[in-house]
Amino acid sequence: MTTAADPDTLPKQSAPNPESSTDAETDTWKSLFDGKTLGLWKPTRFGGEGEVSIQDGTIQIAMGSDMSGITWSGVFPEQHYEISMDASRVDGTDFFCGLTFPVGKNPCSFIVGGWGGGICGLSSIDGLDAARNDTTKWREFKTGQWYAIRVRVSPNTITCWIDDEKMVEQPLKGRTLSIRDEVAASKPLGIASFATTAGIKNIRFRPIDETPSNSKKSLSK
């Protein structure tokens, strides 16, 4: 006769909580940049773009006229993920991280330091870019300082952080997502700068399971 296992004596597993500060410990981040080569990143052909190089473990995106950047040529998820990186404005006065990313079948961009150096937000929501919609925020950025950029994508919400500050929490129900024509070459995943030299490092992503934790289930059958 087989005795059913007591659920209280077995290790308990639950879905990761996206709001938990321990996510980085429980979810596996996957690197998208090894610090040595571009790998599956390709210089983006905007026209007038600056040179892309690797310097001291950093992707250096040189100032262009006007757009420069890199585009991911590999497979990347469309939903339920986070992507993060460290970004720095090396020279210039405009955005040093324009992260274009997929949200299902639609693209969107998180702009960091645009429109003269301090505007952040999503481009575009209902046809309005990061300087003209509900996600618009201003923040000071110091040349040469590194900032941690993180974006979370789910079917219901886009959430963006700079360092530990939540900059965007945009519900998606009933909203239309798009990108500005200037960054079309960044699709589906790309990082761009505008008339600015940028440094990018520590690019990584992880899948996010946003299924609510289930209540305790019986393990006996």
First-residue to last-residue Cα distance in the chain: 13
The tens digit of pLDDT for each residue in 70-93 reads: 999 999 999 999 999 999 999 999
Range of the domain at 159: 38-207
pLDDT per residue rounded down to tens, the chain (221 residues): 333 333 333 233 233 333 333 344 346 999 999 999 999 999 999 999 999 999 999 999 999 999 999 999 999 999 999 999 999 999 999 999 999 999 999 999 999 999 999 999 999 999 999 999 999 999 999 999 999 999 999 999 999 999 999 999 999 999 999 999 999 999 999 999 999 999 999 999 999 986 544 333 322 33
Give the 3-state secondary structure of residue 81. strand
The answer as to whether 127 is a domain residue is yes
The answer as to whether 120 is a domain residue is yes
Q: Which residue, among 14, 17, 8, has the nearest Cα to 215 in the 3D structure?
A: 14
Residues 181 and 110: beta-carbon distance below 8 Å: no
The answer as to whether 1 is a domain residue is no
CATH of the domain at 62: 2.60.120.560
What is the domain count for the chain? 1
